[in-house]
Structure 1
Amino acid sequence: MAAYARLLDDADTVLRSGGRGPWPRTTTFLLRKALESCMRDFWRRVQPGMERCGMRTQLLCLAEYADEVTARRSAGTWAALSAACHYHGYELNPTAGALRALHNEVRVLAERLGPISPSL
């Protein structure tokens, strides 16, 4: 199982628990790490060495190696997760619904960026 798949499973577990405490931020951090792990795996496979660049650089270059829609969705999702990871006293935590939508988006992006499965 890929690292990003485990992180997605962990995020789902925390999200479903939805109790008190820091679960929204924990879920957000896990989702961002899952997306970053997926990107690292993609670059190792497609353009080795690129995974050592910063995330913004990776996202900017993604449109040259993946389709434009996937590149835009990846950049938007990463930006949303990064913003949600930073605590500001004047902002509310992300809601369970927003986190579920982000979880689904990271899962879809992982499928789009993952290795192509041979057809059976």
Structure 2
Amino acid sequence: MTTHTRLLDAADTVLRSGGRGPWPRTTAFLLRKALESCMCDFWHRAQLGVERCRMRTQMLCLARYADESTARRVSGAWAALSAACHYHGYELNPTAGELRALHDEVRVLTERLGPVPPSL
């Protein structure tokens, strides 16, 4: 089981518990870390060394190594998760529905960026 799969499962567990406390931000942190871990694995396979660059640089490079749609979706998901990870006194925490949508999006993106299964 990959690191990003374990992080996605942990985020799902926290999201399902959805009780009191910092669960929305905890879920967002786990999801963002899962996406970043997947990107690191992707760059190890596609272009070694890029994983050491800032995440924004990695996302800009992604369009050249993956399809444009995936690159845009990664960028959007990472930006939304980054915003959800930071405390804003004037904004509400993300809702369970918003976090579930981000969870589903990160799961799809990790599948798109994962290793290509061997053909039979």
**What is the TM-score of this pair, normalised by structure 2?**
0.98
* Match of residue 14 from structure 1: 14
Q: CA deviation at 1:96?
A: 0.2
* Match of residue 48 from structure 2: 48
* Match of residue 61 from structure 1: 61
Q: CA deviation at 1:119?
A: 3.0
Report the secondary structure of 1:112's partner residue. Answer: helix
Runs of 4+ in 1 over 2 A off after TM superposition: none
Structure 2 gaps, min length 5: none
Report the secondary structure of 1:111's partner residue. Answer: helix
Q: CA deviation at 1:79?
A: 0.4
**What is the TM-score of this pair, normalised by structure 1?**
0.98
Report the secondary structure of 1:116's partner residue. Answer: coil
Letter in 2 for 1:75: S
User: Matched residues in 2 for 1:44 and 1:50: separation?
Assistant: 8
Letter in 2 for 1:73: R
Letter in 1 for 2:25: R
Q: RMSD in angstroms over aligned alpha carbons? A: 0.6
User: Matched residues in 1 for 2:26 and 2:83: separation?
Assistant: 14
Letter in 1 for 2:88: H
Report the secondary structure of 2:63's partner residue. Answer: helix
* Match of residue 114 from structure 1: 114
Q: Deviations over 1:16-52 (max 9, x none)?
A: 0010110000000000000000000000011001100
User: Matched residues in 1 for 2:104 and 2:9: separation?
Assistant: 11
Q: CA deviation at 1:95?
A: 0.2
Number of equivalences: 120
